[in-house]
Amino acid sequence: MTHTSLASWLSYIESQHPSEIELGLNRGNTVLARLNLSRPKGKVITVAGTNGKGSTCAMLTQYLCSQNYSVGTYTSPHFLAFNERIALNDAPCNDDIICRAFEAVEAAREGVSLTYFEFSTLAALWVFEQSNLDYWVLEVGLGGRLDSVNMIDTDVAVVTSISLDHIDWLGDDLDIIAREKTGIARKDKLLISGVVNPPPTIASTALEIGANLRQKGCDFRFELGENSWSWTGNGVCYENLPVPSLPLQNAATVIATLVYMELSPTHADLAALFSHVQLMGRFQKVAASPDVYIDVAHNPEAAIELANRIASLPRKPVAVCGMLKDKDIASVMTHLANRFSGWFCSDLAGSRGAKAEELIKHIEHSSPNLASNAMAFHSVGDALSAAMVKAEAEQRSVIVFGSFVTVSDYLALNQSKE
């Protein structure tokens, strides 16, 4: 079947499977074998975890590119354009190459029903092989062991963090979740764990697989100073590193990955990376007067990180928040309710979108004194407009957060104004 545009292809692949998510590798592996793809010249790095996958992929990609390696990076979801998911040397691919990738997958599919994510993953792998790259950096979508990214045998598996998320799919037991995420590892290959207080199933699963496990707090560690930080592991010590804009624990995991891959990063190269690394939607300042930050924080671990970032602001900011109802809204609000001077909550569209009133109930439960400072709106745009009035009058910042959907809505609004 031939489609004339990326939009047409995306509409088509969305219609090819009845479920948005269906974990399992059989369908994808069947098509992958038919594509007969070769591996990169260097290594495949696969990144799993509850939080920190995106920032870890970004730092690895930007470091490797700075060393003049060619890199393909596959991430999800996207904010404004599907092209963001498939990047070559840290730049989104153009429509033409993605359409050609979809054509190749469609030709190899021969009736196999693929989910949207499986189709996208196979397309990304086809693009990377066609581009003759040194490294592939692959972000797991959901879980690990049964995620379609795990069709590819990785050379270096990275697990960034373990906490409760996607409970409907992965369960509510941290040991089980850790086993699923660690399932991306391979025999005799590196497994870098950046997990704080790791469940024992990380080590036991690594042992069962035969992976070479290196763990934070055991094989490597980091320490935050007043204005800098240090990393120690594998006989190497880096001191007085600049504190990055992305979470420090993920930066420590990135150094471990580079060191144990024997890439021998220099202090100067790491300092340059952490001084300039950036990733859309992670406490990213996108406007001034008043300052506006966007953050995709949507689970308890990300909420804790956001709370720490807020602490650096001179005054309590104003929140524009929208969340999905399958997230742990109660825990997120427990960590953040008192961090804001006012809440402007938005409904999110779609079957997974939570209503603003539901968010407000959790805010009031966590902090009853905020009842009069939390308001409900039908859209992110309406919530933002009201929040900006308060922020301007009181000289406060605005933080737009709670979901990729919320941040995407904000970015789309801004794009339409340009």
From residue 184, how far is each of 2, 200, 335, 349 by CA, in Å?
34, 16, 31, 33
Residue 61's Cβ-count burial label (10 Å; 0-12, 13-18, 19+) is buried
176 pLDDT higher than 90: no
121-130, 222-231, 361-370, 374-383, range with the lowest pLDDT? 361-370
Q: Please tell me the predicted confidence (pLDDT) of residue 1.
A: 56
Amino acid at 379: S
Q: Please tell me the predicted confidence (pLDDT) of residue 366.
A: 85
In what order do the strands lie in the sheet containing 398-401?
284-287, 292-295, 398-401, 318-321, 342-346, 374-377
Dist. CA 350–CA 77, nearest whole Å: 16
Question: b or e along 96-105 (b: 16 or more beta carbons within 10 Å of the residue's beta carbon)?
Answer: ebbbebbbbb
Residue 367 vs residue 132, higher pLDDT: 132
Name the DSSP letter for residue 324.
B
pLDDT digits (tens, 9 = 90+) for 115-164: 999 999 999 999 999 999 999 999 998 778 889 999 999 999 999 998 75
Question: b or e along 351-366 (b: 16 or more beta carbons within 10 Å of the residue's beta carbon)?
Answer: eebbbbebbbebbbeb
Domains of the chain, earliest start first: 6-276 (3.40.1190.10), 284-417 (3.90.190.20)
pLDDT digits (tens, 9 = 90+) for 29-53: 999 999 999 999 999 999 999 889 9
Per-residue tokens: 15 = 């219609």
User: Which range scores top for mean pLDDT: 145-154, 165-174, 264-273, 357-366?
Assistant: 264-273
Dist. CA 7–CA 111, nearest whole Å: 22
Q: Please tell me the predicted confidence (pLDDT) of residue 205.
A: 96
pLDDT bracket for residue 169 (50, 70, 90):
very low
For 213, the enclosing helix (H) or strand (E) is strand 212-215
Nearest of 410, 405, 408, 403 to residue 329 by alpha carbon: 403
> Structure pTM?
0.91
Per the DSSP assignment, residues forming a β-bridge with 105 are: none
pLDDT bracket for residue 211 (50, 70, 90):
very high
57 pLDDT higher than 50: yes
Q: Please tell me the predicted confidence (pLDDT) of residue 257.
A: 98
17-21, 45-49, 230-234, 318-322, range with the lowest pLDDT? 17-21
Q: Please tell me the predicted confidence (pLDDT) of residue 414.
A: 85
Q: Please tell me the predicted confidence (pLDDT) of residue 111.
A: 87
84-98, 151-165, 385-399, range with the lowest pLDDT? 151-165
Dist. CA 307–CA 294, nearest whole Å: 13
335 pLDDT higher than 60: yes
Q: Please tell me the predicted confidence (pLDDT) of residue 124.
A: 98
